[in-house]
Amino acid sequence: MAKNKLNKNWLHDHVNDPYVKQAQKEGYRARAVYKLKEIDDAEKLIRPGQVIVDLGCAPGSWAQYARNKLAGKEGGGIHGTIVGLDLLPIEPIADVHFIQGDFREESVLQQLEAVLEGRKVDFVMSDMAPNLSGVAVTDAARVEHIVDLALDFAQAHLKPSGALLVKCFNGSGYTQLVEKFRQQFKTVIPKKPKASRDKSSEVFLLGKILKNPL
């Protein structure tokens, strides 16, 4: 019974959420797009000509936003390259290269390398989150694992001047994640965008400029 009430409350909040309504109106697949937009507006992360990788990109709203920021090429198309990676399939997005699979696997990395053609990446973004259990220690370990994957990916693929944006949660294990970012990046900025729900402990970590580029 309590679960039904919880679901009804969530549905009510979701349907009346201004960001949900705005996303529907503007053709974005998820309200999460406004978290990225707010961070990008402040930090100027996405610019024409860049190579951008979206880790865990389903359902695709972040890739849609990046695509719109790079649009404007004569005759259509975009100035730059966007690659989305996810275990789940997504509906195609114009001008976005989508690779389905685990980015730790060689076959997926080979597909990525084929798109990048030897180029390093300007911006890696990840809105990935694990399935949370409600057990703080377990969830902290799951979040840390996903952030570690993004950090390893960034270390391997980012330009020295590049940036990484990941989702994590302010709670158990958060200070260790910030420390890991500080070991890898010269500038580290935590972000809590307005579009992130008040009840959520979600926070985004932004790292800029690699300390020890490969």
* Active centre residues (catalytic): 167
Is residue 62 annotated as involved in ligand binding? yes
- How many angstroms separate the Cα of 154 from the Cα of each of 62, 93, 122, 190? 17, 23, 10, 17
Is residue 127 annotated as involved in ligand binding? yes
Are 127 and 90 a contacting pair, CB within 8 Å? no
Is residue 152 annotated as involved in ligand binding? no
Q: Going by DSSP bridges, is the β-strand pair 81-86/96-100 parallel, antiparallel, or unpaired? A: parallel
Angle subtended at Cα 190 by Cα 187 and Cα 195, rounded to the nearest 5 degrees = 140
Is residue 198 annotated as involved in ligand binding? no
Is residue 102 annotated as involved in ligand binding? yes
Q: Is 134 left (phi over 0), alpha (psi -120 to 50) or beta?
A: left
Residue positions forming the annotated binding site: 60, 62, 86, 102, 127
Binding residues for S-adenosyl-L-methionine are: 60, 62, 86, 102, 127
